[in-house]
Amino acid sequence: MSGPAERSHYQVLGVSQTASLQEIRTAHRQLARVLHPDRLAEASVAERSLAERRMREVNAAWTVLSDPERRRAYDRTLQVQRVGQAASGSGSAAGGAARAPGASRASTGATAGAAAPGSRPWEFDAEYDRSADIDPDEEDLPTWHFWLLRRGPVVAALVLAIGIFVFTAYAATGDGGDDDVGPTTTGLVSPYCARVVEGRNAVPVDCRGPNNGRLIEQVDQPLDCPAGTKYVVIASEFHCVDGDAGQPG
């Protein structure tokens, strides 16, 4: 019985055969980042050995697929292999039908369902990786570890994209606040008013609500306020108001 089929360069990088050069470059960079030795400092010997071999495969795939001429020649080789496999599969199927004409549909359906890729991505991908990557003398690794090495970059990219989206949405909707309180920045002028909260400490507010006077200008010292105005303190800065700032409004 022949061994498992060798994975193509496209399968190694996790891209389709019609992928653009940019998609291939992105896949290579993501896998190289995941398989970098710095990320495996605390990994076991078997895990590091697997990552090194995967890295060699990834680099070999990038070397071929990043060069247009090499890629075209490689695609022609894959096409020839597929034609040969299709012809071999047809002959085997015909021989099997002749030997067992009474095979049940249930058995056929069960076999097809077990081999169908994508029906259970975790188990199928993991077993595929095991047959292609493991050497007989290596320690067996858990199924989830194989799946992580193959799909980890895609999952990380999705999580990062979701995080950026959530942060952006929160930033866009988080600017609102109490409509009664205005900004507390330097240089406040009309149409803001001041509302005293304690002593001379005040906050800027909309003049349509309760207030202790309209903000006139910011000054360096309380004595700099014009005649007929009083001062309040907003965010440790002195502001002049044209109303009664002696009591909370």
Instruction: Please give the average per-residue pLDDT across 155-163, as a whole number.
Output: 83
CA distances from 158 to 18, 26, 133, 143, 161 (A): 22, 14, 26, 22, 5
Break the chain into its structural domains and give their ranges: 1-99+149-156, 178-249
Tokens of 207: 């003049």
The pLDDT value given to residue 173: 59
The span from the CA of 181 to the CA of 194, in Å, is: 9
126 burial (CB, 10 Å; 0-12 / 13-18 / 19+) is buried
Q: What is the mean pLDDT of residues 4-11?
A: 81
Asked if the model's pLDDT at residue 108 lies above 50, the reply is no
pLDDT at 228: 85
What pLDDT does 8 receive? 93
CATH for the stretch 1-99+149-156: 1.10.287.110
pLDDT tens string 32-79: 989 888 888 788 888 888 989 999 999 999 999 999 999 999 999 999
pTM for the model? 0.35
Cis peptide before 191 (omega within 30 of 0): yes
Q: How far apart are CA 206 and CA 169, in angstroms?
A: 27
- CA 119 to chain CA centroid, Å, is 24
What is the structure's pLDDT at 93? 63
